[in-house]
Structure 1
Amino acid sequence: MTADDSYRRLDDDDYPAYTMGRAAEMLGTTQGFLRAIGEARLITPLRSQGGHRRYSRYQLRIAARARELVDQGTPVEAACRIVVLEDQLEEAQRINAEYRRTATRHPADV
């Protein structure tokens, strides 16, 4: 692996760069919270060769949103479901916007 490859990983939102301890510290939460949202299948951390959980920046953003909801009094399972639904809505809106852009450029034959 070259130095360029290593630097590219730093920009990769999906690269599992953070240990469970570091992820919990960055989010200001506990490792138990990360385990709970993993059990609820909100995020699935990758495992190191030694079997330790590793989290990506993308997963940390999702975990941070779930933590916001839990801090507001939402149960963990419900918070995880809300985050999934928010993500699905965002994706549907993106697809619709893309469809509108292409439909405007290429009007259907009538």
Structure 2
Amino acid sequence: MTTAIHRTTGPHGPVSRFDDDDYPAYTTGCAAEMTGTTPGFLRALGYHGLVTPVRSGGGHRRFSRRQLRIAMRARDLVDQGTAVDAACRIIILEDQLDSARRTNEQLGRPRRQASGG
């Protein structure tokens, strides 16, 4: 028995998908196994707006490597005793702060230091 190898051309071919951190390659079960969590935990992250997995044609969630790294950040916070909803909010706020800092740096504004009161 022979197996045909299908090659995709264009900007989203196999090589670019392999290197793309945002390509939704992982099913919920695979994502849960890779992150050391459960499918329910991953669904909770979606419910709280931390990750939004892509849906396949059949309606199944598909996660990217970037989303798996975010899920692992949340898992670490939860493992330290933080509630899931709070962990999601913390990560969202951290990402917003990082984005604001990058914008300020691009605009040439100096970073303000927190006062040590």
Q: Provide TM-score, normalisation by structure 1.
A: 0.86
In structure 2, give the amino acid aligned to 1:24: A
Partner of 1:24: 32
Output the CA distance in 2 between the equivalents of 1:53 and 1:40: 16
Higher helix share: 1
The runs of at least 4 consecutive aligned structure 1 residues that moved more than 3 Å come to none
Identity of aligned residues (%): 65
Output the CA distance in 2 between the equivalents of 1:42 and 1:57: 14
Output the CA distance in 1 between the equivalents of 2:17 and 2:105: 30
Q: Provide TM-score, normalisation by structure 2.
A: 0.81
Partner of 1:38: 46
1:62 Cα offset (Å): 1.0
Partner of 1:95: 103
Partner of 2:65: 57
1:2 Cα offset (Å): 2.4
Output the CA distance in 1 between the equivalents of 2:53 and 2:65: 11
Residues 23-44 of structure 1 show CA distances to partners (whole Å, capped at 9, x for unaligned) of 1011011111001111111111
Output the CA distance in 2 between the equivalents of 1:90 and 1:60: 19
User: Aligned pairs, how many?
Assistant: 101
Unaligned runs of 5+ in 2: 1-7, 110-117
In structure 2, give the amino acid aligned to 1:2: T
1:6 Cα offset (Å): 1.0
Q: Does 1:73 align with 2:84?
A: no
